[in-house]
Structure formats: C-alpha cells, structure tokens
C-alpha cells in the first residue's frame, strides 16, 4: 500500500486529546501523516479536499498493543489447542493501529520466520506492525542465529521475548537471561531500535527475582527490560510496583480479569506513587488462556480477545474518574516511548495519522490508520486479504 498518495482530509470540530487535552481543533491529514492542527475558532481555510465535521467528538491517538500473538499461541493441550492467526478486522475494531507480535509457549511448531511474514502482511493491509524474536524458552529461537543479529539487521524486529517464573519456561540461568538481554540491547544500538527484552511472568514464587539478577549481574539499562502480565498475582503485582518505582516500565495485561483487573491495577499503581509514564497496557490478544490446577495439570483453556483494551479505557474514566488525557497514556504515548516509536502514540504534525474517533461514552466509532479509514460506525470497513 502506497500511503504517500493518500489524499488530504480535513476533520473539523474535533475535541482533540493528543493525548493531552488540546480542546476543539481542526485536524488536517495527508499522505498518511498529520499535517496541521489549528484551533477551530481560527476558521481554518476552506481546502480543496474531503472534509468531515465531527461535531465535537473526541479524537485520540490509536492504541499501540505491544503484546499480541499474531500467528496464534497456545498448544498447551496438544495441537488442536493452537490458537489461530489474528485477523486485521479484530485488531482495528479494538482501536489498535500499531501492534507488536510475539511467540509464546510454542516455539516448536511456531517460528520467528512465520511471525515476520505475518508482521509484513499486516503492514501491507494497512496498520503498523513490528515483532519480537525469541519465544518462552532459551536459547531463543531466531532467524539469523542470534538475538543480536535479528534485532540489528531485520527491520521489523525491535527486541526479544522469553518466559521467567513460570512452569512453562525453560528454567533459564541468570547468565542466559543476561546474555539475551545484552544481545537485544546491542542489536538495538546497531539497528537504531529500542532493543528491548520482554519477560512473560508466571505464578512462580520467584516473582521478579530473575529480572533483578540481570540488573545485578549485567549493565543492561532497567528501561530496556519489561515484565508483563504483572497483574496476574497479588504478590507479583506488589513486586512490580517496586520495580517501577525504581525506574523500570511494567506492562499490565488487559485480558487478565483476576485477581487484579487492568483498570484497578493502573489506579493502584498511580496511588502507590509509580511514575505514570512507566505504566503500559497490552492485551495478550490471540494468546491462549490456560487454566492449571495446583498440580500443574491443564483443566481449561480459552483465547484472549482485544475488546479488553477499549473496555479498560472506559473503566479508567467512568469507574475511576481519571481524566481522559491521563487514562490514554498507557495505551499510547507511554508505549511509544518505551518502544522508541517517535512517530506513534500522539497526534502532532509529522506523526502518523493513527487516531480514533470516540462516542460520548468512549466507545470506538471510527479508526484511522496511517490516514486510511479502518472502522466506520463501529464496524470494520477494511478487512484482511482473506477475510
């Protein structure tokens, strides 16, 4: 898709949250980018291009979901429990205009090469997509033979993922974890990327101990190490709050409802004096949701959707009364800053034209990705190649 040829479009009378509250503005996009923003009362000149009067509707940045199983996950109960590939329409219907794909438990029948192909496919279909190399286990499955080379040389790869404190992990040693994180860091430097390491956290009583061991034994900056699923356990969440207060990012999973739902986790972290810019939200969408008994036996399994993202935004504002400009940050600017995506997560001249139009009750009415409309009247109007 050649987005450079997209025609200009003027949106009048928008209540712009960029994510800061900019008040009522006119918004001009062209070539897939934000071109100009002017206060509505300045009477933006009449332009020779399509116009939409949004009558004061809220416009905010599109969501960046940094934890999605694009080619499926699962498999914990055999091949028939492998979750399917994600559909473009499922992403955009939830307000996702940028996505980061990754592998999960199954690093045997799922491969980074297949994930790279799916990442490129979603880019072609109209949204922005990146991926992490690796999977749960170490040594990390890679495309080039090393984490460092994958991150440095493959445009779509911005970091690595593994699992710790989980019975499905490969029980990595401290040296293995430190080496993986160091390779991602150096690969990021060489490739001008974030060079992050994302750590799936399970329910082990070890909590964040493996992560702290990396910090004790290696020189990888804390801001490059991201623990995720930290709201799956009370003790883990308390440890994560301490980690964030000391300068790290933590990622809260919106599809986890118990013991701590995502909105409650955000508000609790805020009250615990965690710097708000260190909090991010992701869906774990399209991943399996296995249920294990006390002996580690699988007793149930489901699949995570994406609707938990907009639902969490609504809960933050309606249930906990956070200002919208603050509630938006863990979905948008905070994620963009962690991932090193300067042109994402905010609405400003030069940024990609990724934005949502919301209803009065903060439901998604329209989605625009790189200047192209993906959702109209709350229904996906652009679908993937085989949908």
Residues designated catalytic: 284
Sequence-separated (6 or more) residues with CB below 8 Å from residue 253: 67, 228, 229, 230, 231, 232, 262, 281, 282, 283, 284
Is the preceding peptide bond at 139 cis, omega within 30 degrees of 0? yes
3-state helix/strand/coil string of the chain = CCHHHCCCEEEEEEEEECCCEEEEEEEEEECCEEEEEEEHHHCCCCCCCCEEECCCCEEEECEEEEEECCCCCECECEHHHECCCCCHHHHHHCCEEEEEECCCCCCCCCCHHHHHHHHHHHHHHCCEEEEEEECCCCCCCCCCCCHHHHHHHCCCEEEEEEEECCCCCCCCCHHHHHHHHHHHHHHHHHHCCCCEEEEEECCCCCCCHHHHHHHHHCCCCHHHEEEECHHHCHHHHHHHHHHHHCCCCEEEECCCCCCCCHHHHHHHHHHCCCCHHHEEEECCECCECCEECCCCCEEECCECCCCHHHHHHHHHHHCCCCCHHHHCHHHCHHHHHHHCCCCCCCCCCCCECCEEEECCCCCEEEEEECCEEEEECCEECCCCCCC
Contact 52, 12 (CB under 8 A): yes
Planar angle of CA 99, 132, 363, nearest 5 degrees: 20
Distance CA 124, CA 129 (A): 10
Cβ neighbours around 133 below 10 Å, total = 31
């Amino acid at each position: 898709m050649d987005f450079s040829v997209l025609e200009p479009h003027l949106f009048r009378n928008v209540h712009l949250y960029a994510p800061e509250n900019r008040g009522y503005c006119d918004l001009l996009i062209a070539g897939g980018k934000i071109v100009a923003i002017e206060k509505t009362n300045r009477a933006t000149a009449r332009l020779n291009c399509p116009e939409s009067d949004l009558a004061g509707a809220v416009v905010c940045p599109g969501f960046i979901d940094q934890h999605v199983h694009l080619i499926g996950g699962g498999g914990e109960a055999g091949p028939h429990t492998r979750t399917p590939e994600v559909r473009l329409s499922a992403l955009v219907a939830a307000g996702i205009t940028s996505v980061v794909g990754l592998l999960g438990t199954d690093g045997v029948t799922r491969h980074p090469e297949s994930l790279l192909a799916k990442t490129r496919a979603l880019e072609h279909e109209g949204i922005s997509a990146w991926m992490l190399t690796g999977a749960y286990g170490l040594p990390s499955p890679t495309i080039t033979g090393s984490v460092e080379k994958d991150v440095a040389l493959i445009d779509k790869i911005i970091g690595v993922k593994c699992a710790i404190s989980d019975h499905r992990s490969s029980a990595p040693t401290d040296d293995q974890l430190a080496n993986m994180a160091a390779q991602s860091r150096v690969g990021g430097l060489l490739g001008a990327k974030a060079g992050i390491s994302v750590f799936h956290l399970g329910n082990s009583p070890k909590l964040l101990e493996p992560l702290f061991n990396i910090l004790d034994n290696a020189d990888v900056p804390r801001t490059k190490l991201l623990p995720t699923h930290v709201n799956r356990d009370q003790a883990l969440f308390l440890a994560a709050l301490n980690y964030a207060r000391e300068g790290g990012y933590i990622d809260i999973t919106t599809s986890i409802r118990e013991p701590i739902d995502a909105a409650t986790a955000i508000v609790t972290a805020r009250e615990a004096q965690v710097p708000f810019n260190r909090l991010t939200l992701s869906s774990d969408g399209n991943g399996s949701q296995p249920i294990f008994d006390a002996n580690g036996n699988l007793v149930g399994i489901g699949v995570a959707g994406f609707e938990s993202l907009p639902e969490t935004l609504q809960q933050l504002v309606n249930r906990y009364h956070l200002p919208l400009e603050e509630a938006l940050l863990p979905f948008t600017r905070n994620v963009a800053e962690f991932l090193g995506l300067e042109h994402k997560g905010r609405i400003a001249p030069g940024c990609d034209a990724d934005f949502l139009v919301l209803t009065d009750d903060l439901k998604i009415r329209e989605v625009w990705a790189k200047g192209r409309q993906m959702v109209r009247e709350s229904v996906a109007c652009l679908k993937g190649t085989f949908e």
